[in-house]
Amino acid sequence: MKGFEFPLFKTKVEGVNQTFALDDPVERKKYFALKAGPQIEKIKEYLDGGNSFMGILLGKKNSGKGTYSKLFMEAVGSEHLRHVSVGDIVRAAHESREDPAKKEDLANYLKKKYRGTMPLEEAFNALSGRSTSSLLPTEFILALVEREISKSEHQAVFVDGFPRSLDQVSYSLYFRELMGYRDDPDFLVFIDLPEPIIDERMKYRVVCPLCHTPRNLRLLRTKKIEYDEAEKKFRLICDNPACGGKRMVPKEGDELGIEAIRDRIEVDDAVMRTLLDLEGVSKVYLRNSIPADVAKEYVDDYEITPGYRYGWNAAAKKTNVIEEPWVVSDDNGKPSISLLPAPVVVSFLHQVVKALDL
């Protein structure tokens, strides 16, 4: 985040030379045990004792809110913990209007819980997209979220997608109370993701036209890469055998990179900056990257996001793959190395223990 330096977190364990394949769930379990074993046990004991918490995830679009919370749940277990996506809740409510029974159930709930200046029927029209002049009111969204969280049986929750605007910040100050988590700890989770990383994630993103699996030519390649000699471009080939070697293709608009979502990025940034100054609530700081000049001191090589580039051997008709650390400039202009999700989650686990005072 420009003008604000997130604290560094060291995952490197001195004297330990063991490496892990962080894309393998079995290997990740061993990795988390090594790097955050005591913290995992403390959080498990806390949750097993009937306690809960509310963590509000704050980050720019595509910053990894869902990825980090789900890996956190993988590390400590998901029995007492949920990831609640506000966007998913609103989409599910929209889809429920197609089912008469679900629609009636939702309408009955909202008649009891919704309090707002926009008439309920007009809010329903905004939800269904029939009203193009009305935005979905925050009070309506809060009622939908409360309905979903009420199903959690007082599980600890990570809330993803609220607040989405500066107008919603005041609601977030008392979000715990609004959701019925009156006596449980709450904390804010700030995720720092440099804009160049968002840009490259979008510009090099490709999907399979058949199974819709996403990959990234620069960051998350498939096993097979083809070279299109006519267009002089490298193409990823879907790994799913059912797709029969289908070429993966860019999503429309992704060539614009971050500029395609610039307005959303600016709003997310403004919300985070406002809440950074909030007093009276614990804060967790997750950074996706680390300055290149201290990377060797703070993290192990296998925790660094690999970047890929390609060369074409015309004589052998073969693509050569070059793997190297992915170095970008962070939002303050420092050359930085991107981290894989697992080491970010190690930092997450350590900081939540402190936030809960365990």
pLDDT bucket at 135, cuts 50 / 70 / 90:
low
| Cβ burial, residue 311 (10 Å; 0-12/13-18/19+) | exposed
pLDDT in tens, 310-333: 999 988 888 999 998 888 888 888
Q: Could you give all domains of the chain from N- to C-terminal order, each with its CATH number? A: 25-80+155-355 (3.40.50)
Length of the chain: 358
pLDDT in tens, 44-55: 999 999 999 989
**Token duo for residue 26:** 């079995």
Q: What is the pLDDT of residue 100?
A: 78
Q: What is the pLDDT of residue 42?
A: 98
Distance CA 353, CA 346 (A): 11
Q: What is the pLDDT of residue 144?
A: 85
**Of 301, 71, 61, the residue nearest 197 (C-alpha):** 61
pLDDT in tens, 54-112: 899 999 887 888 889 999 999 999 889 988 888 888 888 888 777 778 878 888 888 88
pLDDT in tens, 161-189: 888 888 878 777 777 776 666 678 889 99
User: Scanning the structure block, which residue is given the tokens 């614009």?
Assistant: 256
pLDDT bucket at 303, cuts 50 / 70 / 90:
very high
| Bigger pLDDT: 113 vs 338 | 338
HSE on the CB side for 51, CA within 13 Å? Answer: 14
Q: Name the pTM for this structure.
A: 0.85
Lowest-pLDDT range of 131-140, 242-251, 270-279: 131-140
Per-residue pLDDT, averaged over 335-356, amounts to: 95
**Token duo for residue 241:** 């055998």
Residue 160 near residue 64, CB atoms below 8 Å: no
Amino acid in the structure at residue 344: V
Using CA atoms of 299, 300, 306, 310 in order, give the dihedral in degrees to the nearest 10.
130
